[in-house]
Amino acid sequence: MKKIMLCCNAGMSTSLLVQKMQANVKERGLDIEIEARPMNEARDHLDGVDILLLGPQIGYAKGDFEKDVAGRIPVEVIPMADYGRMNAAGIIDAAVAKMA
């Protein structure tokens, strides 16, 4: 099973997106677990995660997270258009491609 972590400022804005992504994963029969964490908690929960997706509002922190993971996993910023449209399928497809 692959694990995707979404991260944003307080964990609130991604909760709806995570619900949509979880429904999409279930619908498609993918073996992927998805969770959301606020930025101040994410660093403590990176073990076992296969990719870290950052909300566009914290894209500025990508470099810091890349240092934290030291190349173990990809760190990506969700495109503003996909985030705004809650494009669960597109975000999942992009994450799967980066985890491959």
Condensed to tens digits (0 to 9), the pLDDT of residues 45-92 reads: 999 999 999 999 999 999 999 999 999 999 999 999 999 999 999 999
CB atoms within 10 A of CB 89: 14
User: Global pTM?
Assistant: 0.95
Active site residue 8: yes
Options 4, 5, 8, 78, the catalytic residue: 8
14: amino acid identity, one letter: T
1: amino acid identity, one letter: M
Averaged pLDDT for residues 7-12 = 79
Give the strand pairing for 2-8 and 32-38: parallel
pLDDT digit string (tens) for 13-41?
688 899 999 999 999 999 999 999 999 99
Residue 12, pLDDT score: 66
Residue 68, pLDDT score: 94
CB atoms within 10 A of CB 47: 7
